[in-house]
């Protein structure tokens, strides 16, 4: 069996995993190289890829939110304006050049990150050694020698006096519901202007390089794993190129809208990770390592994982819970039970049990063979 490397961005730096995949057919570009389609067919594969696209969309929105808030601090413009400008620039050059433009801009962004972050190290370190800041009667900033800045970095929003910060109306970022702005605000409020510009410029470059890659990857997934196999199997390369450009625009616009209306990076990040963990991981695990599974179990697992996860709600996104797990806090609406693990385990169990049941029913003739519509390749 051929081996295929998993994405390093999903595993972390310095890690690689090689997965055994099902044999491909004669067409090397055929999506049947995917273990999901080989075992479960196109319907299940489309649903799983749609879930992956949703996860990437939330992740892209989180990245764009972080980039927009960083630029709003540096330039002193509204967050919404900075998000729109950032999204427009990133989406435009990704649409025009796609992989080539992303590669060249990543080189420039890497240089900017290196210069900006290395140049910020010494000033920030000196400020940390100076300690907590406070304001004099004249409004000037002075530093005491009794306390360090470390608590402010370890517990952002609680270790410093934010009462004179106009950007948060005198509140700490957490209380002002602007937790995504902790890092840019720390650089803006507690470092010199030159250091602030260098550091925030480096952060903006890092975030922009992640966003263009995320948008390009999501559009490629839609074009080659959803559009071509399901809608236009005989689409030409030119048609696929324009479909991918259009999908880049749509994904960028959707992520922009989400990042404007959902102001918490953490909530978007958690939701993106939960989609992959609860919905995508059980499907891929069973496709690779449990040969007795089939499309019926995959559909049941998809629904079970989605319902159990969505039912738990998400307080950071104001998503109410309609399933109250044990230890549910009625006052805050917080789920203290490990519901993500329960949803993952339930999805895996449903996947295996329903697959075995349906296979047995068709094999022994309890169900007509004509009803067996969901098959792999």
Per residue in 57-72, pLDDT tens?
888 888 888 777 777 7
pLDDT of residue 148: 35
Reported confidence tier of residue 329, pLDDT bands at 50, 70, 90:
confident
Which of 309, 316, 340, 335 lies closest to 324, judged by CA? 335
Does the pLDDT value for residue 316 go beyond 80?
Answer: no
Q: Which of 31-45, 123-137, 291-305 has the highest mean predicted lDDT (pLDDT)?
A: 291-305
pLDDT of residue 124: 58
Q: List 5's β-bridge partners, or say none.
A: 18
User: Over the stretch 222-239, which tens digit does the pLDDT of each residue have?
Assistant: 888 788 877 888 889 999
- Would you list the domain boundaries of the chain? 36-131+172-263, 271-376
Does the pLDDT value for residue 49 go beyond 80?
Answer: yes
The percentage of the chain sitting over the pLDDT mark of 70, rounded to a whole number, equals 71
Does the pLDDT value for residue 109 go beyond 50?
Answer: yes
Q: Which of 118-122, 227-231, 269-273 has the lowest mean pLDDT?
A: 118-122
Does the pLDDT value for residue 21 go beyond 50?
Answer: no
Inter-residue long-range contacts of 70-77, CB under 8 Å, 24+ positions, other chains counted: 70/183, 70/184, 70/200, 70/203, 70/204, 70/207, 71/200, 71/204, 72/181, 72/184, 73/167, 73/181, 73/184, 73/185, 73/187, 73/188, 73/200, 74/184, 74/188, 74/196, 74/197, 74/200, 74/201, 74/204
pLDDT of residue 340: 94
Average pLDDT over residues 283-293: 92
Average pLDDT over residues 139-168: 45
- DSSP output for 69-101: HHHHHHH---HHHHHHHHHHHHHHHHHHHTHHH
Does the pLDDT value for residue 170 go beyond 70?
Answer: no
Does the pLDDT value for residue 245 go beyond 90?
Answer: yes
Reported confidence tier of residue 204, pLDDT bands at 50, 70, 90:
confident
Q: Which of 132-141, 310-319, 331-340 has the highest mean predicted lDDT (pLDDT)?
A: 331-340
pLDDT of residue 181: 66
Residue 222 vs residue 143, higher pLDDT: 222
Residue 42 vs residue 244, higher pLDDT: 244
Q: In which element (H, E) is residue 5 found? A: strand 3-5
Residues 6+ apart with CB under 8 A from 361: 367
d(CA 185, CA 283): 41
Does the pLDDT value for residue 356 go beyond 90?
Answer: yes
Does the pLDDT value for residue 292 go beyond 50?
Answer: yes
d(CA 14, CA 58): 25
pLDDT of residue 183: 67
Does the pLDDT value for residue 81 go beyond 60?
Answer: yes
Average pLDDT over residues 290-311: 93
Average pLDDT score, the chain: 76
pLDDT of residue 166: 60
Residues 6+ apart with CB under 8 A from 4: 18, 19, 21, 33
Give 101's Cβ-side CA count (13 Å radius). Answer: 16
Does the pLDDT value for residue 146 go beyond 50?
Answer: no
Reported confidence tier of residue 134, pLDDT bands at 50, 70, 90:
very low
Reported confidence tier of residue 178, pLDDT bands at 50, 70, 90:
low
The percentage of the chain sitting over the pLDDT mark of 90, rounded to a whole number, equals 22
């Amino acid at each position: 069996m051929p081996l295929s490397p998993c994405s390093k961005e999903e595993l972390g730096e310095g890690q690689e995993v090689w997965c055994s995949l099902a044999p491909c057919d004669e067409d090397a570009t055929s999506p049947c190289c995917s273990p999901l389609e080989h075992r479960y067919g196109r319907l299940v594969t489309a649903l799983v890829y749609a879930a992956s696209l949703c996860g990437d969309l939330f992740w892209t929105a989180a990245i764009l939110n972080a980039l927009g808030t960083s630029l709003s601090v540096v330039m002193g413009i509204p967050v919404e304006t900075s998000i729109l400008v950032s999204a427009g620039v990133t989406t435009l050059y990704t649409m025009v050049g796609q992989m080539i433009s992303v590669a060249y801009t990543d080189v420039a962004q890497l240089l900017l990150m290196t210069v900006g972050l290395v140049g910020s190290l010494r000033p920030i370190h000196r400020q940390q050694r100076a300690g907590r800041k406070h304001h004099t009667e004249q409004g000037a900033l002075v530093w005491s020698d009794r306390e360090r800045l470390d608590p402010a970095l370890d517990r952002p929003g609680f270790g410093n006096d934010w009462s004179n910060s106009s950007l948060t109306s005198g509140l700490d970022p957490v209380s002002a519901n602007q937790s995504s702005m902790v890092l840019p605000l720390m650089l803006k409020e507690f470092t010199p202007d030159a250091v602030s510009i260098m550091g925030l410029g480096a952060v903006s470059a890092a975030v922009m390089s992640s966003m263009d890659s995320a948008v390009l990857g999501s559009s490629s997934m839609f074009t080659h794993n959803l559009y071509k196999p399901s809608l236009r199997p005989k689409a030409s390369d030119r048609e696929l190129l324009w479909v991918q450009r259009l999908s880049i625009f749509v994904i960028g616009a959707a992520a922009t809208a989400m990042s404007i209306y959902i102001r918490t990076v953490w909530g978007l990040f958690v939701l993106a990770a939960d989609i992959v963990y609860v919905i995508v991981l059980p499907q891929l695990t069973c496709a690779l390592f449990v040969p007795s599974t089939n499309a019926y179990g995959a559909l049941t697992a998809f629904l079970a994982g989605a319902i159990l996860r969505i039912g738990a709600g998400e307080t950071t996104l104001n998503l109410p819970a309609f399933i109250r797990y044990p230890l549910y806090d009625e006052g805050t609406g917080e789920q203290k039970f490990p519901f993500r693990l329960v949803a993952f385990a339930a999805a895996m169990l449903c996947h295996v049990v329903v697959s075995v049941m349906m296979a047995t029913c068709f094999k022994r003739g309890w169900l007509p063979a004509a009803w067996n519509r969901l098959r792999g390749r």
